[in-house]
Structure 1
């Protein structure tokens, strides 16, 4: 077996793309999208039909209100891509909630409920086949907690700290996405180094710590490493619950051969001496304040996703 095939025996592989052809080629279990990926995909000629349909839908639903038109257009576009992806993958698709709602619990819940209804209208059961991606702010975690109670499952994204991971698990969210590569980016810049050995990569160490903590204390929240910068980060996390991987790196894994050892092991983690901790809102906010990397990368990630959402809105308006 090649390395990708070996990885699939111990980790659920998820495609990090909006490109249907890449998803079909590498046959992942699930797929994730975000505004950046949808913006790239929507500009491709063979996906134009999905954007045209979304723009038409938005005009019909939003009427004379430009904000309503934009919202319905963006939600329909996300569902259009999600529906097409679900015709390829056997599992779930992650659909992003507008990053501009990251500090508004009620608005996040309403947006997820609206997307869920749109999925139902195109014949997809959102409870079974969709994860709603929400930024791992305190407000986002609270929104996810309530959505999970309603049977709408969540992927908590832009996760950079142990405090975020613990709060998500305590809230009962379905899945978290620690951003491995962006953690590495911060530490390289902060420490003025070109890189780290794979086993000392700060992003890898963060996910390993979270994985072991979850398994030791019996949390059912799935750990899905995300945002990889190189192949070594992926290889060091073999055995993690899920890994979401961009097509280029999926191709590198498929072309690689040789034994792939398991690095993360749930059975071993269950016997580790890891104390249990908990975060209320004040403790959470203080932990984030004390973690410059997590604070800066969370804020940056929200800004970048919001910027790409605006770009996507402007692009669709021209159709």
Structure 2
């Protein structure tokens, strides 16, 4: 499974790269707004800093607007993936962009049927939002299982990019189901290596070492 980081913060991206965990980046208008700086300059900096795919999102609601925006977004770098909302006009745009050789990421996916439609339109990625599904009382991970099964049934090349991740378990379960990518907020990324038994074991080892004859000499 590949790990993307879900952020528009360059410091978080650089730190995640230092850990060696980053295969790509996903952004959205809300993440850019949080940074309170010129989004175009920031988008260009992110695309330059990252070797892997960088998802940049359109804000238009018609296929014509989305395609026009996509043409501008891909100018930020050869690694740009254009995020398109899961609406009917979005699917029209995805098909056109696919024919133009532009990678797309269909976002705001909340049902297996939406994911199937996006795959049929030629999407490079689909982004089911597991955390938001969980918030409704449904099971976000069941959604991932259904999408992976459908894509495998029909050999779709579209990749399942699990989004709205709230905990490490979302990542574990997605990996077990065969999802291609998890896009992870930095605060969750920091928790991936943590385990209470690891902390306890390390503390015990260090305490024993201090009591070892000749330790520290």
What TM-score results when the alignment is normalised by the length of structure 2? 0.82
Identify the residue that residue 112 of structure 2 maps to in structure 1. Answer: 162
2:56 to 95, 104, 128: 95
Which residue of structure 1 aligns with residue 179 of structure 2?
Answer: 240
Distance in structure 1 (CA, Å) of the matches to 2:74 and 2:186: 27
Q: For residues 168-247 of structure 1, what are the structure 2 equivalents within 5 Å?
A: 168-187=118-137, 202-238=139-175, 239-247=178-186
Higher deviation after alignment, 85-94 or 155-164: 85-94
User: Which has the larger strand fraction?
Assistant: 2
- Is the CA contact 2:73–2:80 (under 8 Å) kept in the aligned structure 1? no
Q: CA RMSD in A?
A: 1.9
Structure 1 unpaired stretches of 5+: 1-10, 43-47, 52-76, 189-201, 259-319
User: What does residue range 25-64 of structure 1 map to in structure 2 within 5 Å?
Assistant: 25-27=15-17, 28-42=22-36, 48=37, 51=38
- Take 2:191 and 2:161, find their aligned partners in 1: how far apart are those partners? 19
Name the stretch that deviates more: 137-146 or 244-253: 137-146
Aligned to 1:254: 193
TM-score normalized with structure 1 length = 0.57
1:248-270 alpha-carbon deviations (Å, 9 max, x no partner)? 00000033488xxxxxxxxxxxx
Higher relative CO (Cα under 8 Å, sequence separation at least 6) belongs to 1
How many residue pairs end up in the alignment?
A: 192
Deviation of 1:230 after TM superposition, in Å, equals: 2.3
Shift of 1:204: 0.6
The structure whose residues are more often helix, as a share, is: 1
Query: Unpaired runs of 5+ in structure 2?
Result: 198-217
Q: 1:97 to 1:257 in 2, by over 3 A?
A: farther
